[in-house]
Amino acid sequence: MDLSTVIVNYKSRRALLECLGSLEMDAAGYEHETVVVDNDPSDDTLEELARRFPKVRGIANAENVGFARAVNQGIAATTGAYVMTINPDCFIEQGSLAALIGYLRAYPRTGVVGPRMVGRDGTLQYSARSFPDPLTFLFNRYSLLTRLFPGNPFSRRYLLSDWDHASVRTVDWLSGACLMVRRTAIDQVGPMDEAYFMFNEDVDWCRRMKQGGWDVVYVPEALIHHDIGASRKKVASKVIVERHRGMIHYFHKYHPSSPVVTVLADIVIRLRAGLMLAANAIKPR
């Protein structure tokens, strides 16, 4: 089996169907399998998939178990030499799978590859980044300081925004919205850390890959259209809470410090979560 694709679905039926359509077209010629892990027990998406895409296997969870755990379910249920995790709100341009698989075949010490990502309007998304430091939560893609001062050196370092994203480059980490991972690297390093419910699991996974001696590489010849609307629309409060809980877990795991600094960092991250919850409450649905 050349390729196994794992898609975690949660209330994204329309986007999922488009994603699967683009996947089936681009995967023609490869021996491949696709598993959709559905985290919405009240949804009948898997029944529709059985009618529209009979070769796609479905795993139905009785509750929303989170992204990392669902991805790991999909990995365990597949056998391909390469595993691609892709969000349902992604559309694959033709030739992208060939570019990603071709790079992994050509460079055996590469464990993870990721595509160039753009919005539906063609706007570049900063899907390849540097590892976060203890202050990155103040300068990430959606932070107030990045919005007010987009040219500040901290945001530029983290987002790699001084780079045109037009050339192959070894990076620290790649967005989990679309990753292709060598299965032997997964066997060595392990699957995603399920302590992350949603967000930060991709940073952690790439970091562990690099610690295990595997390269993480951005391959711009592969192109994915990815819809991002969470910054503008109202989201479930749990998403905000879990995102910040993941930040705290990552900080404790990779930036151990004195108890005083750790407590202060936890307080600041929780304060940020509170501010985001308040701002989210007044956003339109």
Size of the chain in residues:
285
pLDDT, average across residues 242-269 = 81
Q: Report whether 177 contacts 226 (CB < 8 A).
A: yes
In this structure, the number of other CB atoms found within 10 A of the CB of residue 172 comes to 16
- Mean of pLDDT over the chain: 89
Lowest average pLDDT, out of 20-24, 197-201, 238-242, goes to 238-242
- 13 three-class SS: helix
Domain definitions of the chain by residue range: 3-116+165-224, 127-162, 237-281
Is a pLDDT exceeding 80 seen at residue 148? no
The contacts of residue 249 (CB under 8 Å, 6+ apart) are 193, 195, 196, 200
232 pLDDT more than 60: no
Question: Which of 136-150, 194-208, 227-241 is the least confident region?
Answer: 136-150
Predicted local distance difference test score (pLDDT) of residue 93: 97
Chain position carrying tokens 């879990």: 242
The CATH class, in words, for 3-116+165-224 is: alpha beta
Using CA atoms, how far apart are residues 147 and 122, in angstroms rounded to an integer? Answer: 20
The model scores a pTM over 0.85? yes
Per-residue pLDDT for 60 more than 50? yes
Strands (E) across 10-153 are located at 32-38, 57-60, 82-86, 90-92, 110-118, 124-125, 128-129
Mean pLDDT, to the nearest integer, of 265-274? 79
Q: Higher pLDDT residue, 121 or 143?
A: 121
The helix (H) or strand (E) run that includes residue 275 is helix 259-281
Q: What is the mean pLDDT of residues 20-47?
A: 94
d(CA 285, CA 268): 27
Arithmetic mean of pLDDT, 153-180:
91
Grouping H, G, I as helix, E, B as strand and the rest as coil, residue 7 is strand
Position 231 pLDDT exceeds 50: no
Distance CA 275, CA 196 (A): 21
The pLDDT assigned to 54 comes to 94
Q: How far is CA 239 from CA 36, 50, 66, 176, in A?
A: 21, 29, 10, 16
pLDDT of 146 over the 60 cut: yes
What is the mean pLDDT of the segment spanning 27-39? Answer: 96
Cβ atoms of 88 and 11 within 8 Å: the answer is no
